[in-house]
Amino acid sequence: MKIAETIVRTIAAPVGDAWDRVLLASIWFFLLAGIWFSVRVNLVDLVADELQRQGWGTRIFGPALIWLYMAAAMLALRTSLWIRYRPFTAARWSEAPLLTVIIPAFNEGAMVSRSIESCANADYPKDRLEIIVIDDGSTDDTWSHVLAAASRYPDLVRTLQFPVNQGKREALAAGFERARGDVLVTVDSDSAIERGALLAIAGPLRDPRVGAVAGKVSVINRNDGILPRMLHVRFVLSFDFLRSAQSVYRTVYCCPGALSAFRAAIIQRILPNWRGQTFLGEPCTIGEDRALTNEVLGAGYDVVYQRSAVVHTIVPKTYRQLCRMYLRWDRSYIREEFRLAKIVWRRPPISRVLTVVDSLLTNLRIPVAYAALVMAVAFSYRDPWTMLRILESIGVAGLFYSLYFLRSERSWEFVYGLAYAYFSSVALLWIFPYALLTVRNRSWLTR
């Protein structure tokens, strides 16, 4: 009953100005009418009719149809939670905790200097701030840029250099061990934070139940080509939609390496397990951000999202770089989903139910999507219009998700969300199956 009451309250959450109301009305219209028509008329009826002609009935199609209805309901719930989400109040200047920023760097060149500068110049009491930069055995001029930046802020920046590359997890661990702060913030060396990011991300940690906070990641090089533009839309959807919804029930699945904050006392307790993590007998060297988030959740703490803590990061500009990034992410995703399945039962009742449903439907979409693709190809042999119907449905879904971006960013760049829908449906289709087959591979791929 309490869960049902919570869900009802989210639907009645307040909205903003008239622009907000128009966008939200459009989102609900597409959700309840546009997606239903496209999927039901173009795909569901098409596949059902074909299966009937083949004499299969609904024995195969029935479970997929149930998943489709459940996924639509989950999307409606996510939308309600997303509307309800509000950023946490930032930490006050006079009450800001002792905070350590940890920046691991490997072959980052001049960009690491920009990252250090953004942290050193952030709006945060300098007597309660320290920055630790770890050069993870770079073979380029990264160390010289680290030393130059440190010389400009001798009272803030401490440095450490590994003689050889040991991996990002080890670099972060070295920073955690040397940190003096009560709050530990991780920032990637290819990223730059906004001036108010540190006060903003420290704010939620005033609640003793919160163990970690995820920041908002934006794309700094979005003007470098169509891929960065599409990824900017994708990142906004990933953070301002999914993580906002997860934050309402205080179970954000991944605190990104680009910008996250952790309670130091928790990190010191979980550090040995995280540092020595293995999977299928192999040491884990990738996916350190989601692994660390799982450790915090497993320790019994909440993980939330802070929309007002913004970091700008560099994303891939070429297809090859993009595939390597997604392969690394998907391998980590597969590994950490198994861990989340064990951890979720320790969460409070509402969080437990919503996490189980969200994770189950999210993972079911993978076999359903590939099965639908196989059937679509088979049916296209008899009816060439099948593929056009599928392309139409992808376009409607892409436009629908772009509405979330439009509400967050108020930018015409939402059209790149439509482009990404088609691009990912074709060019990235092979990524997850290959990641699943090579899940033990622990190569960083972009190093």
CATH number at residue 138: 3.90.550.10
CA pair distance 115, 237, nearest whole angstrom: 24
- Note whether 349 and 3 are within 8 A (CB): yes
Contacts of 377 (CB under 8 A, 6+ apart): none
Does some domain include residue 443? no
Q: What is the pLDDT of residue 65?
A: 61
Lowest mean pLDDT among 97-101, 210-214, 267-271, 372-376: 372-376
Range of the domain at 222: 93-347
Does some domain include residue 187? yes
Following DSSP, what letter does each residue of 30-53 receive, concatenated? IIIIIHHHIIIIIIIHHHHHHHHH
Q: What is the pLDDT of residue 252?
A: 96
Does some domain include residue 142? yes
Q: Are residues 17 and 97 in the same domain?
A: no
Q: What DSSP character marks residue 240?
A: I
Lowest mean pLDDT among 338-342, 372-376, 437-441: 372-376
What are the start-end ranges of the H helices in 42-85?
45-53, 61-84
CA pair distance 364, 70, nearest whole angstrom: 11
Contacts of 384 (CB under 8 A, 6+ apart): none
Q: How far is CA 304 from CA 119, 165, 209, 215, 261, in A?
A: 22, 32, 10, 9, 10
Q: What is the pLDDT of residue 441?
A: 74
- Note whether 282 and 179 are within 8 A (CB): no
Q: Are residues 143 and 238 in the same domain?
A: yes
Q: Which of 347, 372, 400 is the last residue of a domain?
A: 347
Question: Which residue do the tokens 């955690």 mark?
Answer: 176
Phi first, then psi: what are they for 278, rounded to 5°? -130, 160
Helix (H) or strand (E) holding 201: helix 197-202
Q: Are residues 238 and 305 in the same domain?
A: yes
Q: Are residues 329 and 420 in the same domain?
A: no
Q: Are residues 111 and 13 in the same domain?
A: no
Does some domain include residue 144? yes
Tokens of 185: 């913030």
Tell me the mean pLDDT in the region 301-327: 95
Q: How confident is residue 282, by pLDDT bands cut at 50, 70 and 90?
A: confident
Q: How far is CA 369 from CA 106, 145, 170, 242, 340, in A?
A: 37, 46, 37, 20, 23
pLDDT over threshold 90, residue 20: no
- Let me know if 338 is exposed, middle or buried by CB neighbors in 10 A (0-12, 13-18, 19+): exposed
Tell me the mean pLDDT in the region 127-139: 96
Q: Are residues 261 and 338 in the same domain?
A: yes
Q: Which of 319, 347, 375 is the last residue of a domain?
A: 347
Q: How confident is residue 427, by pLDDT bands cut at 50, 70 and 90?
A: very high
pLDDT over threshold 60, residue 56: no
Does some domain include residue 421? yes
The tally of domains found in the chain comes to 2
- Note whether 86 and 306 are within 8 A (CB): no
> What does pLDDT average to over the chain?
84
pLDDT over threshold 60, residue 17: no
Q: Are residues 315 and 220 in the same domain?
A: yes
Tokens of 3: 């869960």
Q: What angle (nearest 5°) sits at the alpha carbon of residue 322, between those of residues 321 and 325?
A: 90
Tokens of 183: 């709050």
CA pair distance 178, 161, nearest whole angstrom: 13
- Note whether 139 and 213 are within 8 A (CB): no
- Let me know if 72 is exposed, middle or buried by CB neighbors in 10 A (0-12, 13-18, 19+): middle
Q: How confident is residue 9, by pLDDT bands cut at 50, 70 and 90?
A: very low
- Note whether 248 and 85 are within 8 A (CB): yes
pLDDT over threshold 90, residue 245: yes
Contacts of 381 (CB under 8 A, 6+ apart): none
- Note whether 98 and 128 are within 8 A (CB): yes
Q: Is 157 left (phi over 0), alpha (psi -120 to 50) or beta?
A: beta
Does some domain include residue 184? yes
Q: Which of 320, 347, 374 is the last residue of a domain?
A: 347
Q: Are residues 36 and 138 in the same domain?
A: no
Q: Are residues 149 and 70 in the same domain?
A: no
Q: Are residues 287 and 377 in the same domain?
A: no
Cα dihedral across residues 34, 39, 40, 42: positive or negative: positive
Q: Which amino acid is at 438?
A: T
SS3 state at 281: coil
Higher pLDDT, 278 or 377: 278
Q: Are residues 291 and 392 in the same domain?
A: no
Lowest mean pLDDT among 19-28, 390-399, 429-438: 19-28
Strand partners, 312: 192, 218
pLDDT over threshold 80, residue 240: yes
Q: Are residues 145 and 227 in the same domain?
A: yes
Tell me the mean pLDDT in the region 346-360: 91
- Note whether 306 and 91 are within 8 A (CB): no
- Outline where DSSP puts E strands in 198-335: 210-219, 259-263, 278-279, 282-283, 302-313
What crossing angle do the helices spanning 385-409 and 18-29 adopt, rounded to 10°? 160
Does some domain include residue 40? yes
CA pair distance 262, 255, nearest whole angstrom: 9
* Rounded (10°) CA dihedral 246, 266, 348, 28: -10
Q: What is the pLDDT of residue 368?
A: 76
Q: What is the pLDDT of residue 134?
A: 97
Does some domain include residue 445? no
